[in-house]
Amino acid sequence: MKKLIFGLCLLGLTTQLSAQDIVLSEVDLTAVNYKYINAVDSKDAAIPVKLLEEKAATYDIKKTELYSDEYDTYQVSFYIPDGIVVAAYDKNGKIIRTIERYKDISLPKAVRDAVYKRFPGWTITKDVYKVSFHIDKDEAKKTYKFKLENGDKTLRVKTDENGNFL
């Protein structure tokens, strides 16, 4: 008898429920700066590098008070204590070119290993990471510059993102 009453209550409650129709407005998603994101490809990059590059890629120039249809390009600078990105945008919000500079960031494993293999006993005291991107090129140019010290000796070295010495 309890099962019968419980079953009837359950059946009564489920018949009162009705499906809700939710209508969502149409959303148009566009990846405006996909070429920039693909070119800089910062998987192994330090966190400050990723943060600034993401900020530059997601920045919407059209939503700023400086935006006007009469200008063809806009230059915007993004700063943090570890680095700077200067990006040029077209009037549609697409990144045309960037120059980036970061100081004393953590290095990718390939670069670090290459330096320590070629210069055993030396210590990296300063490093600068530079990135330049142009929309007409498939890749961004990435270079690392180091100041190495071994006692009272000083050496300056330059590599690419793969640890190849330049």
Dihedral, CA of residue 109, residue 112, residue 113 and residue 117, to nearest 10: 180
Q: Where are the domains of the chain?
A: 31-160
Tokens of 77: 């600078």
Side chain identity at 46, as an amino acid letter? Answer: A
pLDDT computed for residue 127 by the predictor: 93
- Check if the beta carbon of residue 127 is closer than 8 Å to that of residue 104: yes
pLDDT computed for residue 39 by the predictor: 85
CB burial class (10 A; 0-12, 13-18, 19+) of residue 85?
buried
Q: pLDDT in tens for each of the 166 residues of the chain?
A: 666 666 666 556 555 555 556 665 665 545 678 888 888 887 778 888 888 988 999 888 888 887 887 888 889 999 999 899 999 999 888 999 999 999 999 888 999 999 999 999 999 999 999 999 999 987 899 999 999 999 899 999 999 988 899 8
